[in-house]
Amino acid sequence: MKTRKFYTFVSILAICAFGLLFIGCPAEESDENKTPGNNSTPGSGDSTDFNMAGTYTFAKTGGNCTWVFTADKNYQCSGYGISGTKTGTWSSKGNDVTISYSQSAGSTTVSGEEVFTVQVNGNQLTLTLKDNTATTSVLLVQFGLTPPIKSITLTKTDNVSGGDPNTPFTSISELGTYLSKQPVNTPDSPYIIKLNVNDISGLKTTLDDNSRSYRKYVYIDLSGSTIKTIPDQAFCISDVGGVRGCNNLTGITMPNSVTSIGNEAFRCCYNLTNITIPDSVTSIGNLAFLACTSFTSITIPNSVTSIENGAFDSCTNLASVTLPTNASFTSIKAYAFDQCTSLASVTIPDSVSSIGQQAFRGCTSLANITIPDSVTSIGYGAFDNCTSLTNITIPSSVTSIESNAFNNCTGLTNITIPSSVTSIERNAFNRCTNLTKVIFQGSIPYVGRDTPAFLGDLKNKFYASNSANGTPGTYTTTAPVSSSSVWTKQ
């Protein structure tokens, strides 16, 4: 019998959208209608870093017993009530410990395995039988403990060294067997799983199988694995109802062997709150983290040279982003942070030359953004509906501002268009109802014959300062053929 103790996670409902295609994820079933289960986790609250190897004593009136747990997962105990030295093996997964033993009883040899949960209090280690239905234990009885007593408290008498309390699973099937026997838990206390494998192709199915009826939330540590990539849709599950994520996955640590994160790899993983992207990763695929609505921050290492379309689209709780600063990272692609409604500020690195279509559309909390001098184009709807954006500097490197680039940016009060800009497309600043001043450092760009670049609502809300003394002249629907470089709200 092998066991493991982890910590867990619960599902968050979300409806996802990707760009203009409205690619989404179906809402998840509410736990309110599910059969309640045991939400307690054996050993909950104990340190999962605890190392069992070392020498301990078990004290009882009339004598002591000495336990020696070695780093190679063997143990010996001698002393109180024991004839000779008992030997066996121990294993640890999380805070669950399995002690395997064999002892002579007359002419009969009794063998078995006892599964304990671990509690640590200073230098004391308490092992308590995990199976609540157990009424006897050969291992306990031999120390003079009478049922229903099911615990042994050992006192550490030397420094702990060696051993690994989180023995990694080496196969996905072994992990599946383990999870099937564990109680349900919650997203804030997931089972912490170390998994050392060279292929994770069956992992999402195993995790999903343990999520459908009763939630078994997990944090997956793949740092000891040898995988080269997180495959396309690695944790994204398609079924009759559409697309959904592996919603019992709360976090993941990738190994340094990984160089790429595939398309839709974590799409719709609503409960994914913690992820470590190693420095070995160079590319993040399309929709890789679409609608991971529990993310609050992400650091993208400098090794990354490519973040594809919609990589973090609809990550509605994403408040902080650190982008790579290497010279090969040259563009923020379409829908990259579309509808990231909690994103408050972004610094775009100097290597970036283009901001793609609707890259920050609907980032309604975005109040500050720095556009470096390296940027030459601001794409269609790039900052559409960024209603909290109050100030933005367009650098002199920019040559084009595409349609709807700043549409409905109602917080903007003034804007300076550098002389480098030769093209401002239709509705670039449409519905910017609080924009009081626009300064053109160069000629006012036109779209079509004698038509000002600002169309739609703004057409009738601005007039040019044409007179010599600075008193503004006015125009309504008829555009002037030549105009001043300063437009002030009427």
CA distance 131 to 321: 45
Asked whether residue 313 is assigned to any structural domain, the reply reads: no
Last residue of a domain, one of 279, 294, 309: 294
Query: How far is CA 138 from each of CA 143, 154, 170, rounded to the nearest angstrom?
Result: 9, 17, 31
Task: Note the Cα 340 to chain centre separation in Å.
Answer: 14
Residues 120 and 180 in one domain: no
* DSSP assignment letter at 173: H
331 contacts: CB under 8 Å, gap ≥ 6: 352, 353, 354, 355, 356
Task: Note the Cα 276 to chain centre separation in Å.
Answer: 8
Residues 222 and 252 in one domain: yes
Domain holding 241, by residue range, is 1-41+167-294
Asked whether residue 469 is assigned to any structural domain, the reply reads: no
Residue 303 β-bridge partners? none
Asked whether residue 423 is assigned to any structural domain, the reply reads: no
Residue 358 has what pLDDT? 98
Asked whether residue 486 is assigned to any structural domain, the reply reads: no
> Residue 201 is part of a domain; what is its CATH number?
3.80.10
Residues 35 and 135 in one domain: no
Listed as ranges, residues in the chain with pLDDT below 50 are 1-23, 28-49, 159-166, 447-482
Q: How many domains does the chain have?
A: 2
Contact 291, 315 (CB under 8 A): yes
Residue 331 β-bridge partners? 354
Residue 206 β-bridge partners? none
Asked whether residue 338 is assigned to any structural domain, the reply reads: no
CA distance 135 to 150: 8
Asked whether residue 15 is assigned to any structural domain, the reply reads: yes
Strands in 377-378's sheet, in edge-to-edge order, are: 331-332, 354-355, 377-378, 400-401, 423-424
Residue 489 has what pLDDT? 59
Residues 21 and 93 in one domain: no
Residue 86 has what pLDDT? 78
> Residue 108 is part of a domain; what is its CATH number?
2.40.128.50
Residue 283 β-bridge partners? 260, 306
- Owner of token pair 């104990």: 46
Residues 8 and 107 in one domain: no
Residues 85 and 127 in one domain: yes
Backbone angles phi and psi of 207, in degrees to 5: -65, -40
Q: Is the dihedral of CA 190, 191, 194, 199 positive or negative?
A: negative
CA distance 142 to 157: 22
Residues 177 and 284 in one domain: yes
What is the token pair recorded at 319?
């408040």
Contact 406, 380 (CB under 8 A): no
Residues 192 and 120 in one domain: no
Residue 98 has what pLDDT? 85
Last residue of a domain, one of 268, 294, 320: 294
Residues 34 and 59 in one domain: no
CA distance 179 to 173: 10
Last residue of a domain, one of 238, 263, 294: 294
What digits encode the pLDDT tens for the residues 323-332?
999 999 999 9
Residues 223 and 258 in one domain: yes
Asked whether residue 224 is assigned to any structural domain, the reply reads: yes
236: nearest Cα among 265, 211, 195, 193: 265
Residues 215 and 176 in one domain: yes
What digits encode the pLDDT tens for the residues 134-191?
666 777 777 777 767 788 888 877 643 333 334 678 888 888 887 877 778 888 888 8
Asked whether residue 256 is assigned to any structural domain, the reply reads: yes
Residue ranges in 67-137 assigned as alpha helix (H): none
Residues 179 and 37 in one domain: yes
